[in-house]
Amino acid sequence: MPEGPEIRRAADGLAEALCHRPLTTLWFHTAALNRRAKALRDQTIVAVRPWGKALLTEFESGWQIYSHNQLYGRWMVVPSGTRPETKRSLRVVLENDEAAALLYSASDISVLAPGEWQTHPFLSRLGPDIFHPKTTPALLRRRLGSSRFARRPLGALLMHQPFLAGLGNYLRSEILYAARLHPAVRAGDLDRDGAGRLSRAMTQLAERAYRTHGETAPKSWVRARLRLGEGWQQARHWVFEREGLPCPSCEAPVTRIPFDGRRLYLCTLCQEAPA
């Protein structure tokens, strides 16, 4: 499933294609959504924003289209009047004179009146978006210290969207490695230094992955691994999908473990398990 950085890049592409241009086509795959969308006719899209792994396409009146790609959904932006050849099911068409934004295969789509996001069954449970300007390391330190999250192990907490929306499996492994923290450590057991390292790693690595189209390791590390013959998918990370390869710091082999139902990668020497 795409994580926050990938969803933010998708939002950027949709905004560039759609914002402030009159729509020529507004179509949904169900009659119920099309009836609901009558309120959007003759309106202009003013913003496309990510919220965790969801997208909110906002119209000038404050109405919004909510969409979540889940595992199989995908937005495509193509020239106006064209449709790509694909076996995917078309769910949404937003088209103007220059471009068409087409959502395929997604099953979680809503048309929301102003303020309805507050009672939406998914959006109402989300924590702050990792890329929101107000999501700072200071805010994340406060959330880590909250009694609401204190008993959760970090390996589960970083995937818990009500804590922070937008983190997923590759970011979880990379953030914990960067912060030198074991996934079994509980949020409430972090000292000030550990909470600071983790909070900075969350914002910094998500931003790096956004800017570099998915790289969490520094550019110098990625280039060195590529020169050694590694593929980009493996070279772009410190530990994720690098089971058995040397830790970048201590050269002990990277370990893969199941944690909270998903695979997690770590260095057991650099990320010491709690007693």
Q: Does residue 221 lie within any of the structural domains? A: yes
pLDDT given at position 34: 94
Q: Does residue 272 lie within any of the structural domains? A: no
pLDDT digits (tens, 9 = 90+) for 153-205: 999 999 999 999 999 999 999 999 999 999 999 999 999 999 999 999 999 99
Query: If you average pLDDT over every residue of the chain, what do you get?
Result: 95
Catalytic choice (6, 8, 50, 53)? 53
Q: Does residue 275 lie within any of the structural domains? A: no
Query: Does the pLDDT at position 1 exceed 80?
Result: no
pLDDT digits (tens, 9 = 90+) for 11-53: 999 999 999 999 999 999 999 999 999 999 889 999 999 999 9
pLDDT given at position 70: 85
The predicted model scores a pTM of 0.94
What three-state secondary structure class fits 92? strand
Query: For 149-160, b where at least 16 C-beta lie within 10 A, e where not — what string?
Result: beebbbbbbbbe
94 and 174 part of one domain? no
pLDDT band at 72 (very low <50, low <70, confident <90, very high): confident
pLDDT given at position 257: 97
- At 51, which helix (H) or strand (E)? strand 45-51
**Residue scoring higher pLDDT (71 or 40):** 40
Rounded CA separation 268/150 (Å): 23
Q: Does residue 130 lie within any of the structural domains? A: no
170 and 117 part of one domain? no
Rounded CA separation 242/239 (Å): 5
pLDDT band at 275 (very low <50, low <70, confident <90, very high): confident
121 and 185 part of one domain? no
202 and 118 part of one domain? no
Does the annotation mark 53 as catalytic? Answer: yes
Does the annotation mark 38 as catalytic? Answer: no
pLDDT band at 149 (very low <50, low <70, confident <90, very high): very high
111 and 184 part of one domain? no
Q: Which domain holds residue 189?
A: 137-266
155 and 248 part of one domain? yes
Distance of CA 122 to the CA centre of its chain: 15
pLDDT given at position 102: 97
Percentage, residues of the chain above pLDDT 70: 100
pLDDT given at position 15: 97
Catalytic choice (79, 114, 262, 272)? 262
Structure tokens at 275: 């007693």
77 and 10 part of one domain? yes
pLDDT digits (tens, 9 = 90+) for 74-133: 999 999 999 999 999 999 999 999 999 999 999 899 999 999 999 999 999 999 999 999
103 and 182 part of one domain? no
pLDDT given at position 159: 96
Query: How many structural domains are present in the chain?
Result: 2
Give the CATH number for residue 34.
3.20.190.10
Rounded CA separation 274/267 (Å): 14
Q: Does residue 262 lie within any of the structural domains? A: yes
250 and 148 part of one domain? yes
**186: which DSSP letter?**
B
Residue-level length of the chain: 275
Does the annotation mark 148 as catalytic? Answer: no
Return phi, psi of residue 160, to 5°.
Answer: -85, 105
pLDDT digits (tens, 9 = 90+) for 244-265: 999 999 999 999 999 999 999 9
170 and 72 part of one domain? no
Last residue of a domain, one of 125, 157, 186: 125
Rounded CA separation 55/62 (Å): 15
Rounded CA separation 21/45 (Å): 7
Contact assessment for residue 97 and residue 80, using Cβ atoms and an 8 Å cutoff: yes
Does the annotation mark 3 as catalytic? Answer: yes
Q: Does residue 35 lie within any of the structural domains? A: yes
Contacts of range 22-27, beta carbons closer than 8 Å, 24 or more positions apart: 22/96, 22/97, 23/94, 23/95, 23/96, 24/80, 24/95, 24/96, 24/97, 25/93, 25/94, 25/95, 25/100, 26/93, 26/94, 26/95, 27/92, 27/93
Last residue of a domain, one of 96, 125, 154: 125
Give the CATH number for residue 197.
1.10.8.50
